[in-house]
Amino acid sequence: MTNRRQFISKLTAPFLAMPVLSELAFPSCANPYEGPVLKVALMGLGGYASRVADAMQACKKARITGLISGTPEKLTSWQQKYNVSAKNCYNYENFDAIKNNPEIDAVYILTPNALHHPQALRVAAVGKHVICEKPMALNARQGKEMVDACKKAGKQLLVGYRMHFEANTVDIIQKRINGNFGKILFFQGLSGFRIGNPSQWRLNKELAGGGAMMDIGIYSVNGARYMVGEDPVWVTAQETKTNSTLFKEGVDETIQFQLGFPGGAVASCLSTYNMNNLDRFFLNGEKGFTELYPASGYGPIKGRTHQGELNHPHVAHQTTQMDEMAAILLENKKPLVPVDGIEGWKDLVIIDAIYKAAATGKKEPIMY
C-alpha cells in the first residue's frame, strides 16, 4: 500500500502553470443555459473521479473549476484535459487555501473511504459545500460528525447517491408513492461482483473500513430504503468467507442480511465481492411488482413493472447527479429522495447494525 501512503502524505511539489482560460468549454445546445453554475473542485483524481469529470462535461449547471490531488503529475494532466486553471489546483497539505478562492463553491470528495471524514471536516471549516462519495464515512459516529460540522459552518453536505436521480429508478419510486404497487410487502437487493486486483485499497481495512458491504452492499442498503419508502428498524445478518487470504480480518467477502420495516415489509439482501451476475432489485406489493436489473451499475439501467417495461433513455448518471446537486445547492431544489448528510448517516447506522448482527448472530435493532 505504498502508493496509498504517498496518496495521503504531505506533498508540496510545485505544479506546472497552465494558461488561464477565460471560460470552460461546454457542449453546444439550441438553448444555452444562462442560470447559476456550481463551481466544483474534485478531490482525489482516481478512476471514479475520471468518470465524474467526463460526465460533467455535459452538465449545464455544474463545472469543474478546481482540482485537489497528492500527485502533481495528475494535476498537470487534468489541468490540460479539463481546462482548469493552475491557480485552482491544490495538494492535500494546502487545500485549506480554497477558503479564499471564489472560483470554488463545493468540493467533491472522491478519495478512499477512510479519508472522507477528515477531509470533509476541513472543507466545511473553510466554508465550502461538501459533496462526498458513498459511503459517507467509516461508521455512523463519523457520519454524524460530518453532518454537525457542515451545519455549524452553514454549508450543505451531499452524498453521491447517483441512483436517486436515475430516470427509471425515479419513475419506480414515484409509482410506489402513487400507490401503483399497493402496500409494500417485500424487497430483494442483490449487490456484488468478483473483485480483481488483490492489492487495491478496497481490500485494505484501514482505508476501506470493511469490504464488500462498504463498497457495493451499500447499494442494497440504500435501495431498500428508497424502494420500500421507509427506514428499517431491525436487521439480522450472516457472513460467509471462503478466501481468508484475499479477504483478511475486517474485510467482508459476502454478507446476507435481512431488514424489517415499520410498515411490516421485509427485505432480503446480499452483498459480495465473490459473485458476478447480480445487481438486481425486486419490489413486491399487494397490487403489483417492479424490478430493476441492472439496478445500480453505471448503466443503462433496465426496469419493468407488472404493467410493462420502462424505457427511459440512458444519460450518464453523474451528469444528471451533478446538475441536480447544483440545483439543490444553488436553487434550494428538493429532490424526490434526499441526498443530504442525514441520508448518508442513516445508511451508516444500518451498516453498523449489519456488522453487529453478523458478529452476534442476533436480531439487532437499528437505532437512528
The reported pTM is: 0.91
Report the percentage of the chain scoring pLDDT > 90.
90
Q: Is the pLDDT of residue 11 over 50?
A: no
Q: Which residue has the cell 409509482?
A: 175
- Is the per-residue pLDDT at 26 higher than 50? no
Residues 6+ apart with CB under 8 A from 81: 53
- The predicted model gives 127-141 an average pLDDT of 98
Is residue 219 annotated as part of the catalytic site, yes or no? yes
Domains parsed from the chain with CATH numbers = 2-162 (3.40.50.720), 163-313+341-365 (3.30.360.10)
Give the active site residue among 82, 92, 219, 355. 219
Hey, is 158 helix, strand or coil? strand
pLDDT at 277: 96
Q: Residue 2: what pLDDT?
A: 43
Active site residue 48: no
* pLDDT, the chain, mean: 93
How large is the C-alpha radius of gyration of the chain? 21
Is pLDDT above 80 for 15?
Answer: no
User: Is residue 297 scored above 50 in pLDDT?
Assistant: yes
Q: Does residue 12 have a pLDDT over 80?
A: no
| 95-104: Cβ within 8 A, 24+ apart | 95/43, 95/68, 95/122, 96/122, 96/125, 96/126, 98/41, 98/66, 98/123, 98/126, 98/128, 99/126, 99/127, 99/128, 101/66, 103/39, 103/65, 103/66, 104/39, 104/40, 104/41, 104/65, 104/66, 104/128
Which pLDDT tens digit goes with each residue over 55-73?
Answer: 999 999 999 999 999 999 9
Residue 31 has what pLDDT? 63
294 upstream amide cis, omega within 30 of 0: yes
pLDDT value, residue 33: 87
Catalytic pick from 60, 61, 128, 134?
134
Beta strands in the chain (DSSP E): 38-43, 62-68, 89-90, 106-109, 129-132, 157-159, 184-192, 234-240, 254-260, 266-272, 280-285, 289-292, 303-305, 308-310, 364-365
Determine phi and psi for 194, rounding to 5 degrees: -85, 115
